[in-house]
Chain A
Amino acid sequence: MKKRGKMNAKSQITIFVIIALILVVSIALAFVFMQPPAAKISAEKPDTTRAYIADCLKDSFEDVEKIVISHGGFLELTNADSVKFSGKDVLWLCYTSKYEQVCTNKHPMLRVEIEKEIISYVKPQIEKCFLDIKSQLNDYDYKENELVIEANILPRKVYFNITKELSYNIKDRVLTLNNFDSSLNSVLYDFVRLSTEVSNQEVRGCDCSKTCNADLYQINKENQDFSISKNAMGGDGEEIYVIKETSTAKKFNFAVRNCVRAPITS
């Protein structure tokens, strides 16, 4: 019994050790694989640095684009700026709180405002990416100056002008990088263009004694890649416009309250 008991104890210890090893290795492996992929930056290959920033920008922009599109161009909307539609906040693009009154264009420079929104979201992300670069190139006498980002919403794309100069020494020479400009495909330009057009048509030639509407039939006809539709919210005369890019099904929502007929009071 004793012999047997000793053997059992050793066996148990062995087993416990093996299990412990497996656990340790597993945890180590999990730790290794769950870490964000380290930037594969090669100090000798400056393009890898640019590519890293480009990837970083792309990820960041895709996130922000998704957010701003669903909110009419803004990252966050307060109750004052928006109306609820299908559980989401939708931006007032043209609004009047009165009855029988033509709405005022609340965002006449919507493109500029969206560009600002994009920068406000993207810039911290890019800065973080540059920090990663810095951490990897610290051994190379890394130097950098301030990051400046401009975003330009252009037809079929958003162009990012990223100004930041960084330099490091490698093989006794100083390598300086200062061009991180990047262009990303986007339909934001058309969303802005079409929403502005709809908003303008709501106002153009509008006399509240008549019905003021955008000619969606014609706009749809002229913009075959998009489908523009309007949903009347009921309630207090709100109207939600949805611009859908047919190929990607991306939807840009905005709201208008224009020339609302006064409720009949008894």
Chain B
Amino acid sequence: MNQNKIISLAESFIMLISIFAFAFIIGGMAIGISPIVSAAETNSVPSGCCMETKEGGICQNMNLFDKNTCKSGLVPTECNLVEQCQVGCCYDSSEGTCSLNAPKEKCISNGGNWSNNAKCDIQQCALGCCILADQSSITTARECTKISRELNFQKNFQALDSDGTCNSKTDLDAKGACLTPTGDFSGENDCKFTTKSNCKSGDFKEGFLCTAKEFKTTCFPAKNTTCVEGKDEVYYTDTCGNIANIYDASKFNDANYWTNIVSPSESCSSASASCGNCDYLSGSVCNQYRPGKDTKPTFGNNVCRDLNCANGKKHGESWCISDYENTDTFGVAPVGSRWFKGICINGEISIEPCADYNQEVCIQNTGTGDAGASFTEAKCRVNGWRNCIAANDKETYEGVKSECESYPDDCVMFMDIESNSKFAGLPGFKADVLNTEQGNVGDIGKDMNKIIPWCVPKNTPGMVFWSTPKSYSNTSSSSSTSENSIGSGGSLTETALICSFGSFKCVSHTQKKPANTGSWKDEENPECNFNAYDQSKQKVELLMQGLNERSKMLGPCGIQVNIAGQLGKNSANSSVSRTFISKDGETYKTGGTETGTGISVEGYVLSEDYLGELKNIAGIKKMGSITKLASAMFLGLITGNAIIENLPFDPGTGTIPIGGANPSNPIFVTPHVNPTPALEGGTLTPSGGFSMPTIPGLVPLIQVAGAAMAGYQIGMTIGKATGMSPGRTEALAYALGAGAGLATAAVVSGLMTGTVDAATGATAFGYTTLGSSASAAAAGEGLAEFSWCWICVVVIIIIIILTWALTGEDNEYYIMSYNPGLWQAPAKGNCNSCNEDIRACSEYRCKSLGQNCQYYNSNGEPGWCATMNDIWSATISPWPEALSEGNKYADVTTNHFSIEGLSNDGKVAAWTGLQFGIITDKPAQCKIDNKHTKSIDEMSTDFIIDTLACETGSCSASEGTLHKIALSQHLGANNSGESTLGLVEGENNYYIRCQNFAGQSNEAEFAVKIIVDEGPDYSPPIINSFVPISENYLKVGENSSSILVYVNEPSECRYSQNVNNVYEEMKGKLTCLTNPTSAILGNWPCYAILENLTAGENKFYFQCQDQPNLLNNSVERRNINRNSKEYSINVCSTGLSITSVSPKEKIVLGKSPINLDVTVETSGCIDGGKAVCYFKGFGNANYISFFNTDAKSHSQTFTDLPAGDNNLLIECEDDAGNTASDSIRVNVELDNDAPIVLRNYVLERKVNIITNEIAECKYTTNSSIGCAFSYEDKDLIKMETSKTSANLHGANWEINKDYYIKCMDIFGNENIQDCAIRLRTY
């Protein structure tokens, strides 16, 4: 029992506890699901100012929810209303220091002076340069006093430099010799000519050169020169590569000139072959010597080059280059033409192409430069030709003109071109006639010319006109024919469509009336009928000219010339077809027969004079006259889609249906040869006899009419049965109808008088159906019955004859159908001229030259234009610049040359690396072998195609035509490395083949002969290059970097850091590839990881020992380059940062297109922040480089922002790999709609309207104008806009007036087609 009692008590206790626990849990949950605070409630939470937060914040606004984070309680107000929290300038009067944005309380409590000027724009805080001997710092005046006193200097406080620094005061930029001991106990110094600030660890000798003898440096005068970035002059360099004084050949042996820095003003006075004191202001600047163009300098390879160009253009001047002279005359751009921009910079002319296919045009402005001389500037702009084509989508000339004139830079009305006034009045050129009625004759041909290209591009666009648009390329081509990109020629379909707009149909009408006795005459549109009866009226030749002129302005359509001045292959009359509709309604087309006669298009041709003018008017600038100067830079802008897509194109005819016409049967013509078609075929068939009318007098009349109709029908039947023309048939029908009527009238009149037997009379009317002879029989019977009335018979006959002779008409129609078709290149052209021109070749240009021309761009753009028959192997000649020093080419013929040393015996020095090159006359891949082979595929070693040489301007050849190879004795006769072949003592023969751009190679080998001298290897290794190059940067925080060192022979290499040790003491060892076949263009690579790099400059010294294959006991035979090759690498101490982005956030409201300029500023360790920035957004899914970048400032212009909330991500990266990112946000709200009138009413004698947006409105009450006015027209009355609401507009009320009102909103959207509203007052 006790136990049970205990258990019961325990259970009760547990239950009790559980109840409380459960209640507690529930209570806790209830607390956890408190209702979400609404925005309204959140706003009502009290807030206040926390004087100091637990996290360290001072004077922070916060609400009561966060008060636990505040050290003290909240002050129930905004912090900016708390006196102690006011931020301002805290000035330490003792030290003179200032702190910006300092809280008042904190400042004062520590003895500072506080002022209400957060930016410290107070006199005490004005900063300046405090100069202490050779150092300075930016301080306040008081601070400077204090520092100077403490450091025992006389106070020297000066204003800041213009850039806010003290650089000019400290001489940190002063230059001089920076000496560091060589470390080899020789007492000599290594030396670097640098600034004081860069000579941290060395002994800086300001104003001295490294060649100053007193410093015992390892550097000596040399006859080398260099150009220095940021300086105009040519400078000497010493044997260590340091810059010395300005190049002056006369002072090379003057020791003083190699001791101290000599200023330009104290150097040789004028630029010449012996003096490198160039001066930008005087018009010359240091540049590389160009053989044949510059005067050769006495020493070195740099000259003072005239900034102005040889063609008379000044430095900085740019100008337009075209393919033809007469560029101001619209529509004369030849097929294949392209605009280019010439630029003169530093005496060099470079040529930049505008977008191909004339999708960009070059515009030029001539201003005034120095001394009043003219100065031209040019730029490429988009050719808006598509707007012109689209403008023709109007039914009237005026409608097209209105739209066309909206694009005055790109479009022109064809009839507004002065030389085209001669076409006015011709069919298709009548400005006062609707398009639908151009060239028609009544219903014949109506609507067949719905679209007439009244509006034409000023600059004829280029387009694909050939049927195989793809060039012979393995790579994508910038001149690809993909649609929608500028520089693209669209598609053949689009070109055909554009050309079809130039087509025109003209119906000419001739008539003979009366049909039996009249003569043929010209009626409508005799101008387009070469066979017009009155030849003075036909204007076929002029019409053909007009149609062709108009067509060739649309694109490569019709008959025109190419950039070589040659007419296209289709310059005959193939553009015209004719249809003849004869008087009997039969249709004959060109080539058909009409009783043995074909419908000729003879005469529908362009005159020789006109064709001659086509060749001459443009003033073609012949190609191939100037050698290409520079490679092109492609500008990739985006244009809109083709104006019409997905229209069916009939490749057979090259036409596209316009205005709903059927292309296979372009004209539906039902010859209107019978004026009473309802009667044709004798279908008038009274269903049965008819009862006599009971109305007196009416019955005879009906009888007469019925007889006439019967006679008419009989005549028609007879005419048709006998093959009469419609006009003659008609005349016969009239005559017989008239006779039958008269005869019937006579009979009826007899009956009425009772002299005729009723039964007979009934017989005369007894036909119930009109058979082929019914009418004639009836008439004959009538005449027989009334034979006594011979006079009546005569009269009737006379009337029949007269009617037959004087009535009826015959019509004939000629339908001229003009379709310009696509321009076709001449059958044969000089394809190579495209390659040799200063203007870069492209597929469009190449194809325009001839149908035999193919474009090859396997090696990229610009490609190569050649005929299939012209792609024979490349010719080979020696390349002088590629040959190693101390050698020369000799015995040069078309199939071989020799390489000789400069010694008397002509032998090439032993154990020295040899490099030579060849030039091919066209782009090619070349191979070399030291044994004979049968084909290029069997040859062992590839030449390297040198592109850099041309980029630096040291060659005059096309890309892909320069090839070089290295030879080395270290490989031996049978070894080869990459672009390296073995060389042996004695005679060496090499054989070369080249395969050109089209896969053709020379069958016969080209031979090169070299005789190498004998002798041991005494040459120390030469370190030719580093990868990465010296003085590059690593990003902040990095402390190691891998490096490749290229040595001219197999070697073992070592390095030391910071100290220039001797080889044996160098601790760092490189891993070197010493196998002979490891050579890469005559160099053997070594690899190392440079470690322990610190922020700033890290110097390394490299030395190598050759012949690693020799045993250690032969070490004395191994050569070492004791003069270390220096290498430095800089580690950034600061990363890259984006210092400003503009705009950061922007809301734009307006009419499309919306423009936006984005600018980004970067700062960092390379040149203060030089970097490349990219953006992503605004519809671009990938990062795209800024238009202007690779500098500290970066900018990009967007010309058509998409609507909506746009986020643009920005990423920048410098050469060291430091990155920074940022973003901008632009909200674009587009309003492209014209204002809408929501309401109108009359109040206080005013007509009032309310628009849906802010606008201004104008109106006219002239009903003859109606809504056909432009908002910008004069003589419109402006409505008064209410001062209280810009949506409310009023006009004076006048009774019985029509108000035609148009409005324009603040973005320029206006009512164009129709009025915003029309009102009538009464």
Interface residue ranges, A against B (CB under 8 Å)? 79-83, 92, 94-98, 102-113, 154-157, 193, 196-197, 199-200, 203-205, 209-211, 213, 215-218, 220-224, 227, 229-230
Q: Is B597 on the interface with A (CB-CB < 8 A)? A: no
B1134 engages A229 (CB within 8 Å): yes
Sample of 11 A–B contacts (CB below 8 Å): A95-B56, A104-B102, A109-B92, A109-B107, A109-B112, A112-B111, A113-B110, A193-B97, A199-B100, A210-B1144, A217-B1165
Interchain Cβ contacts within 8 Å, total number: 152
> Which residues of chain B come closer than 8 Å to A193, judged between CB atoms?
97, 137, 143
Contact indicator per residue, chain B 151-186, by CB within 8 Å of chain A (1) or not (0): 100000000000011110010100000000000000
CB distance from B1199 to the nearest CB of A (A): 24
* Complex CA–CA separation, A204 to B137 (angstroms): 18
Select A108's contact among B103, B165, B1144, beta carbons within 8 Å.
Answer: B103
Q: Nearest Cβ distance between residue A173 and chain B, in whole angstroms? A: 37
B1168 touches A (CB below 8 Å): yes
CB-based nearest B residue for A112: B110
**A80-B138 contact given A221-B197, A224-B200, CB 8 Å threshold:** no
Interface residues of B in 68-124 (CB under 8 A from A): 71, 87, 90, 92, 95, 97-103, 106-107, 110-112, 118-120
**Interfacial chain B residues near A223, Cβ < 8 Å:** 137
Of B59, B111, B138, the contact of A222 (CB 8 Å cutoff) = B138
> Which chain A positions have C-beta within 8 A of B718?
none
Add 18 more A-B contacts to A217-B1164, A217-B1165, A222-B138 (CB < 8 A).
A94-B101, A102-B101, A103-B101, A105-B101, A109-B99, A196-B97, A200-B99, A204-B100, A210-B1142, A215-B1163, A221-B167, A222-B137, A222-B165, A224-B172, A229-B1036, A229-B1095, A229-B1133, A230-B1134
> Is there contact, CB below 8 Å, between B58 and A95?
yes
Chain A residue nearest to B88 in the complex (CB) = A108
CB of A130, distance to nearest CB on chain B (Å): 27
- CA A106 to CA B57, docked complex, whole Å: 8
B136 interfacial contact with A, CB 8 Å: yes
Q: Which of A105, A110, A204 contacts B103 (CB 8 A)?
A: A105
Q: Do B101 and A211 touch (CB < 8 A)?
A: no
Is the CB–CB distance between B1139 and A97 below 8 Å? no
When the two chains form their complex, are residues B1139 and A211 in contact, meaning their CB atoms are under 8 A apart?
yes
Contacts of A106 in B (CB 8 A): 56, 58, 103, 106
A108–B107 CB distance below 8 A: yes
Q: Quick check: A156 and B150 within 8 Å, CB to CB? A: yes
Name the residue on A nearest B173 (C-beta).
A221
Q: Please name all residues of chain A whose beta carbon is closer than 8 Å to the beta carbon of B103 when the two chains form the complex.
A: 104-106, 108
Interface residues of B in 1028-1044 (CB under 8 A from A): 1036
CA separation between A218 and B112, bound complex, in Å?
A: 28
A175 CA to B1138 CA in the complex, in Å? 67
Q: Does B1145 reach chain A (CB closer than 8 Å)?
A: yes
What chain A residues lie within 8 Å of B92 (beta carbons)? 109, 111-112
Residues 1085-1102 of chain B, each 1 if its beta carbon lies under 8 Å from chain A, else 0: 000000000010000000
Residue in A82, A97, A112, A154 whose beta carbon sits within 8 Å of that of B150 in the complex: A154
Distance in Å from the Cβ of B1136 to the closest Cβ of chain A? 11
- Please name all residues of chain A whose beta carbon is closer than 8 Å to the beta carbon of B150 when the two chains form the complex: 154-157
**A4 CB to closest chain B CB, in angstroms?**
70
Which 4 A-B residue pairs are closest in the complex by CB-CB distance?
Answer: A108-B102, A108-B90, A109-B110, A108-B99
- Give the interface residue-count category, chain B: 35 or more
Contact A209 B147 (CB under 8 A): no
- Name the residue on A nearest B111 (C-beta): A112
Q: Is B53 an interface residue (CB 8 A)?
A: yes
Residue B667 interfacial (CB < 8 Å): no
A89 to B1164, CA, bound (A): 28
Distance in Å: Cβ of B1250 to nearest Cβ of chain A? 39
A242–B182 alpha-carbon span in the complex (Å): 34
Chain B residues, CB < 8 A from A156: 150-151
> Which residue of the partner chain A has the closest CB to B164?
A218
Majority-rule SS of B interface residues: mixed
B1000 to chain A, nearest CB (A): 57
Residues of A within 8 A of B120 (CB): 200, 204
Q: Give every chain B residue within 8 A of A220 (Cβ-Cβ).
A: 1133-1134
Taking a contact as CB atoms under 8 Å apart, the answer to whether A211 and B1133 are in contact is: no
Instruction: Please measure, in the bound complex, the distance between the C-alpha atom of A197 and the C-alpha atom of B100, giving whole angstroms.
Output: 10
Q: Are A196 and B99 in contact (CB under 8 A)?
A: yes
B103 nearest CB neighbor, chain A only = A104
Instruction: Tell me whether chain A's interface is mostly helix, strand or loop, or mixed.
Output: mixed
Q: What residues on A are CB-neighbors of B58 within 8 Å?
A: 95, 104, 106
A80 contacts across to B, CB distance below 8 A: 52-56, 71
Given the known interface contacts A98-B60, A106-B56, the answer about A211 and B1141 at a Cβ–Cβ threshold of 8 Å is yes
Which residue on chain B has the smallest CB distance to residue A183?
B150
A209 touches B1137 (CB 8 A): no
CB of B1140 within 8 Å of the partner chain: yes
CA distance A99 to B166 in the complex (A): 34
**CA A211 to CA B1221, docked complex, whole Å:** 11
Residue of A with least CB distance to B100: A203
Assembly CA distance A79 to B143 (angstroms): 33
Cα-based distance from A220 to B1133 in the complex (angstroms): 9
CA distance A193 to B142 in the complex (A): 13
B165 contacts A218, CB within 8 Å? yes
Residue of B with least CB distance to A154: B150
Partner of A200, one of B98, B112, B1140, B1169: B98
Task: Give chain A residues whose Cβ lies under 8 Å from the Cβ of B166.
Answer: 222
A227, chain B: closest CB distance, angstroms: 6
A68 to B1139, CA, bound (A): 32
The distance in angstroms between the C-alpha atoms of A10 and B90, with both chains bound, is: 85
Name the residue on B nearest A220 (C-beta).
B1133
Asked whether B1222 is an interface residue with its Cβ less than 8 Å from the other chain, the reply is yes
Nearest-neighbor residue (CB-CB) of A82 within chain B: B56
Q: Which residues on the B side are within 8 Å of A92 (C-beta)?
A: 56
Q: Which residue of A lies closest to B1222 (CB)?
A: A211
B110-A108 in contact (CB<8A): yes
| Nearest B residue to A152, CB-CB | B94
**How close is A169's CB to chain B, nearest CB, in angstroms?**
39
Q: Across the interface, name the chain B residue whose C-beta is closest to A230.
A: B1134
- Complex contacts, A157 vs chain B, CB 8 Å: 150
Tell me the residues in window 818-851 of chain B with beta carbons closer than 8 Å to chain A beta carbons. none
Q: Which of B167, B1095, B1163 contacts A227 (CB 8 A)?
A: B1095
Task: Report yes or no: B112 in contact with A210, Cβ–Cβ below 8 A.
Answer: no
| Contact digits for B1156-1171, partner A, Cβ 8 Å, 1 yes 0 no | 0000000111001100
A36 to B: closest C-beta gap in Å? 35
- The distance from the CB of A204 to the nearest CB of chain B, in whole angstroms, is 6
Most chain-B CB neighbours within 10 Å: which of A79, A109, A156, A221? A109
Contacts of A196 in B (CB 8 A): 97, 99
> Which of A155, A205, A222 counts the most B-chain CB atoms under 10 A from its CB?
A222
CB A108 to nearest CB in B, in angstroms, measures 3
Whole-angstrom distance between the alpha carbons of A213 and B1222 in the complex? 14
A108 with B1163: CB separation less than 8 A? no
Shortest distance between the CB of B1167 and any CB in chain A (Å): 10
Partner pick for B1133 among A95, A197, A227, CB 8 A cutoff: A227
How many angstroms from the CA of A188 to the CA of B120 in the assembled complex? Answer: 24
Within 8 A of A (CB), among B326-345: none
Q: From residue B1164, how far is it (CB to closest CB) to chain A in Å?
A: 8
CA A196 – CA B167 in complex, angstroms? 21
User: Which residues does chain B contribute within 8 Å of A108, judged by CB atoms?
Assistant: 90, 99, 102-103, 106-107, 110, 112
Pick the most buried of B56, B60, B1137: most chain A CB atoms within 10 A of its CB.
B56
B52: chain A residues within 8 A (beta carbon): 80
Residues of B within 8 A of A200 (CB): 98-100, 120
Residues of B within 8 Å of A97, CB to CB, are 53, 55, 57, 60
Complex: A224 Cα to B106 Cα, angstroms: 32
Q: Which residue of A lies closest to B104 (CB)?
A: A108
Cα distance, A132 to B1057, chains bound together (Å): 53
Complex: A26 Cα to B172 Cα, angstroms: 63
> For the complex, what is the distance from the CA of A93 to the CA of B144, rounded to whole Å?
23
**A-chain residues with CB within 8 Å of residue B135 when the two chains form the complex:** 224
Asked if A213 and B1139 make an inter-chain contact with CB atoms under 8 angstroms apart, the answer reads yes
Separation of A154 and B149 alpha carbons in the complex (Å): 10
